[in-house]
C-alpha cells in the first residue's frame, strides 16, 4: 500500500478518509508558501545556535541516538518567527486535528513545533510511533486505543528521498501488535514540495529517512498536537508569556497552554487551572 498524496483543495471528508485508511497522507499545499518561506528563513537564521546531534529528547544518549548525530532540532518556534502563529491557525490542519482528536478530549494543545534539519550523510532514524510517548494510554486496547496525537512533517524546502524524506508504513496504525515497528523495506518516502505536509496519526510507523547527500540539509519542521489531558513534549506554556501572546487568536493561546482544559462534552475534570478556576482566553 503506497503513501497517498492529496491536494489541500480536496474535500475534508476525502482527506480524513485517506488518513483513516492509511494512517498518514501527504497534503499538497497544506501551508501557504509565503508563510513557510518566512519560517524557513527564521529557522535558518537560528540554526547556527544549535549543534548537530545536541538534542536529547530529554533522554540523554538514548535520545541523541534517536534524533541522529548530524540532525539539528530546536523548538519554541514562536519565539523565532511570527509565521509559527499563522501555522497554528491553519484552518485545514485545524479541521483535521479537530476530527482526529476531539472525539477523545475537550480540547488539544501543541505537542511540539520543531525544526528537524537532517544533515548530510545521516543514516535513517529508527522506525517508531509517536504515540509511544504516552504508552500507557496507547498500548491498552491497541489498535482501538484513542488517537492521542496528530502530527505534520512540513517541507520548508523541497524534500526528496535522497535528502531524507520521512519514511512511512501506510496501514501500520492498524497492525495487531503494538510493539511491531516493521522494516525499512515496508516504508515509503514522503517526498514533498515546499508547503506540502505529511499528516499522520500517532499510531502509524514512520521515521526520518537517510540523508545520502554530501552537502545538503533536509529542511523540514514538525508540528503536532496532543490530547489536552496529556502532557506535551514541549514546554510551550512557560515559553510564552501572556504578553507574548496578547495579539494572538484564542486558538493559538489555547494551543500554547494559556487556557485551562475543559473536558466537556466528555467526562473528566477541569485541568491546568489557576486558583481552582479556569484560565480563560479572550
Ligand atoms: O525527521 C523526520 O522525518 C521524522 C522525525 C520523527 O518522526 C521523530 O523524531 O519523531
Instruction: Specify the 3-state DSSP secondary structure of 103.
Output: helix
CB distance 23 to ligand 1 below 6 Å: no
Q: Please report the atom of ligand 1 found closest to the CA of residue 165.
A: 3
Q: Which of 198, 202, 129, 203 is nearest to 164 (CA)?
A: 198
Residue matched to cell numbers 544533515: 119
Query: What is the distance between the alpha carbons of residues 9 and 155, in angstroms, rounded to a whole number?
Result: 18
State the pLDDT at residue 124. Answer: 97
**Residue ranges covered by each domain of the chain:** 5-255
Sign of CA dihedral 239, 242, 243, 244: positive
Digit-by-digit pLDDT tens for the chain (282 residues) are 799 999 999 999 999 999 999 999 999 999 999 999 999 999 999 999 999 999 998 899 988 889 899 999 999 999 999 999 999 999 999 999 999 999 999 999 999 999 999 999 999 999 999 999 999 999 999 999 999 999 999 999 999 999 999 999 999 999 999 999 999 999 999 999 999 999 999 999 999 999 999 999 999 999 999 999 999 999 999 999 999 999 999 999 999 999 999 999 999 999 999 999 999 877
CB distance 207 to ligand 1 below 6 Å: yes
State the pLDDT at residue 281. Answer: 76
Cell numbers for 138, please give them: 496507547
pTM for this model (two decimals): 0.97
Contacts of 98 (CB under 8 A, 6+ apart): none
Query: What is the distance between the alpha carbons of residues 155 and 87, in angstroms, rounded to a whole number?
Result: 13
Write the pLDDT tens digit of every residue in 188-204.
999 999 999 999 999 99
Query: What is the distance between the alpha carbons of residues 170 and 24, in angstroms, rounded to a whole number?
Result: 6
Q: Which of 3, 1, 12, 278 is nearest to 165 (CA)?
A: 3
Residue matched to cell numbers 547527500: 213
CATH topology of domain 5-255: Jelly Rolls (2.60.120)
State the pLDDT at residue 65. Answer: 86
CB distance 116 to ligand 1 below 6 Å: yes
Total count of residues recorded for the chain: 282
Strands (E) in 87-196, as ranges, are 108-118, 149-155, 167-168, 188-189
CB distance 146 to ligand 1 below 6 Å: no
Query: What is the distance between the alpha carbons of residues 162 and 164, in angstroms, rounded to a whole number?
Result: 5
**Contact (CB, 8 A) for 228 and 237:** no
Q: Which of 218, 112, 232 is nearest to 167 (CA)?
A: 218
| Cα(208) to centroid(ligand 1), Å | 5
Q: Which of 68, 116, 152 to mutate to test the pocket of ligand 1 (most atoms within 8 A of CB)?
A: 116
Query: What is the distance between the alpha carbons of residues 239 and 117, in angstroms, rounded to a whole number?
Result: 22
State the pLDDT at residue 1. Answer: 74
Query: What is the distance between the alpha carbons of residues 105 and 57, in angstroms, rounded to a whole number?
Result: 25
Cell numbers for 160, please give them: 526528496
| Cα(281) to centroid(ligand 1), Å | 32
Residue of the CA atom closest to atom 2 of ligand 1: 208
Residue of the CA atom closest to atom 4 of ligand 1: 208
Beta strand 108-118 with 5-7: parallel, antiparallel or unpaired? unpaired
State the pLDDT at residue 6. Answer: 98
Beta strand 167-168 with 5-7: parallel, antiparallel or unpaired? unpaired
Query: What is the distance between the alpha carbons of residues 21 and 96, in angstroms, rounded to a whole number?
Result: 14
Instruction: Specify the 3-state DSSP secondary structure of 146.
Output: coil
Write the pLDDT tens digit of every residue in 10-26.
999 999 999 999 999 99
Q: Please report the atom of ligand 1 found closest to the CA of residue 164.
A: 3
Amino acid at each position: 500500500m503506497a503513501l497517498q498524496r492529496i491536494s489541500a483543495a480536496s474535500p475534508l471528508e476525502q482527506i480524513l478518509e485517506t488518513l483513516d485508511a492509511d494512517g498518514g497522507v501527504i497534503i499538497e499545499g497544506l501551508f501557504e508558501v509565503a508563510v513557510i518561506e518566512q519560517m524557513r528563513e527564521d529557522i535558518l537564521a537560528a540554526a547556527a545556535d544549535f549543534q548537530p546531534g545536541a538534542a536529547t529528547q530529554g533522554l540523554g544518549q538514548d535520545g541523541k541516538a534517536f534524533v541522529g548525530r548530524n540532525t539539528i532540532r530546536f523548538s519554541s518556534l514562536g519565539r523565532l518567527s511570527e509565521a509559527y502563529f499563522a501555522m497554528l491557525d491553519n484552518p485545514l490542519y485545524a479541521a483535521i486535528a479537530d476530527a482526529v482528536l476531539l472525539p477523545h478530549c475537550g480540547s488539544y494543545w501543541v505537542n511540539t513545533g520543531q525544526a528537524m534539519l537532517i544533515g548530510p550523510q545521516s543514516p535513517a532514524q529508527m522506525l517508531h510511533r509517536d504515540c509511544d510517548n504516552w504508552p500507557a494510554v496507547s498500548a491498552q486496547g491497541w489498535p482501538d486505543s484513542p488517537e492521542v496525537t496528530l502530527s505534520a512533517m512540513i517541507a520548508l524546502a523541497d524534500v526528496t528521498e535522497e535528502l531524507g524524506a520521512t519514511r512511512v508504513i501506510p496501514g501500520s496504525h492498524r497492525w495487531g501488535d503494538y510493539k511491531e515497528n516493521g522494516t525499512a523495506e515496508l516504508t515509503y518516502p514522503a517526498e514533498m514540495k515546499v508547503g506540502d505536509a505529511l499528516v499522520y496519526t500517532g499510531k502509524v510507523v514512520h521515521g526520518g529517512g537517510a540523508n545520502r547527500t554530501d552537502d545538503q540539509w533536509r529542511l523540514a519542521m514538525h508540528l503536532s498536537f496532543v490530547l489536552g489531558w496529556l502532557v506535551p513534549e514541549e514546554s510551550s506554556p512557560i515559553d510564552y508569556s501572556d504578553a507574548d501572546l496578547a495579539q494572538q487568536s484564542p486558538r493559538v493561546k489555547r494551543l500554547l497552554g494559556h487556557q485551562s482544559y475543559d473536558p466537556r462534552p466528555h467526562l473528566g475534570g477541569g485541568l491546568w487551572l489557576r486558583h481552582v478556576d479556569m484560565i480563560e482566553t479572550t
